[in-house]
Amino acid sequence: MRVDRSPHADEARFSESLIGASPLFRHVLAVVDAVATNDCVVLLEGESGTGKELLARRIHVRSRRADQPFIPVNCAGISDTLFESQFFGHVKGAFTGAVSETLGVVRAAQGGSLLLDEVGEIPIHLQSKLLRLLQEHEVVPVGSAKPISVDVRFIAATNRSLRRMVDDRTFRIDLYHRLNIVRVEIPPLRSRPEDVDPLLDYYLEYFAAQYNMSPRQLGLAIRHELRDYAWPGNVRELCGYIERLYATGLPPMPPAIMADPDSACHGRPAVEPAPGRITQIDNSPLIYSLASVEQGAILKALRQTQGNRSAAAKLLAVHRTTLIRKMRQYGIDGRQ
Question: Quick one: CA torsion of 130, 7, 185, 48, rounded to 10 degrees?
Answer: -80
Q: Are 296 and 254 in contact (CB under 8 A)?
A: no
Residues 30 and 147 both lie in one domain = yes
Residues 173 and 120 both lie in one domain = yes
Within a domain: 1 = no
pLDDT attached to residue 57: 96
| Three-state DSSP state, 116 | strand
Residues 285 and 314 both lie in one domain = yes
Within a domain: 62 = yes
Residues 79 and 170 both lie in one domain = yes
Tally of structural domains, the chain: 3
Residues 28 and 100 both lie in one domain = yes
Residues 29 and 132 both lie in one domain = yes
Of the three residues 155, 187, 219, the one that is the final residue of a domain is 187
Of the three residues 198, 220, 249, the one that is the final residue of a domain is 249
Distance CA 277, CA 288 (A): 7
* Residue 218 lies in domain: 190-249
Q: What is the pLDDT along the chain (336 residues), one digit of tens a residue?
A: 444 444 444 444 445 568 988 999 999 999 999 999 999 999 999 999 999 999 999 999 999 999 999 999 999 888 887 888 888 887 765 566 665 778 889 999 999 999 999 999 999 999 999 999 999 999 988 877 888 999 999 999 999 999 999 999 999 999 999 999 999 999 999 999 999 999 999 999 999 999 999 999 998 989 999 999 999 999 999 999 999 999 988 888 877 666 554 443 343 333 333 333 333 333 434 344 566 677 778 888 888 888 888 888 887 877 888 888 888 877 787 664
Q: What is the CATH number of the domain that holds 216?
A: 1.10.8.60
Q: What is the CATH number of the domain that holds 314?
A: 1.10.10
Residues 225 and 107 both lie in one domain = no
Residues 150 and 61 both lie in one domain = yes
Amino acid residing at 302: L
Within a domain: 3 = no
Q: In the chain, which residue ranges form alpha helices assigned H by DSSP?
A: 11-15, 23-36, 52-61, 83-88, 104-108, 127-136, 162-167, 173-179, 196-210, 220-228, 234-248, 255-259, 290-304, 309-316, 320-329
Residues 195 and 172 both lie in one domain = no
| Three-state DSSP state, 147 | coil
pLDDT attached to residue 10: 45
Amino acid residing at 167: D
Residues 209 and 274 both lie in one domain = no
pTM surpassing 0.95? Answer: no
Q: Are 327 and 333 in contact (CB under 8 A)?
A: yes
Query: What is the CA angle 302-305-307, rounded to 5?
Result: 50
pLDDT attached to residue 84: 84
Q: What is the CATH number of the domain that holds 28?
A: 3.40.50.300
Question: Quick one: CA torsion of 129, 130, 132, 138, rounded to 10 degrees?
Answer: 100
Of the three residues 227, 249, 271, the one that is the final residue of a domain is 249
Residues 125 and 216 both lie in one domain = no
Within a domain: 256 = no
Residues 94 and 168 both lie in one domain = yes
Within a domain: 314 = yes
Within a domain: 5 = no
Within a domain: 235 = yes
Within a domain: 68 = yes
Distance CA 251, CA 244 (A): 10
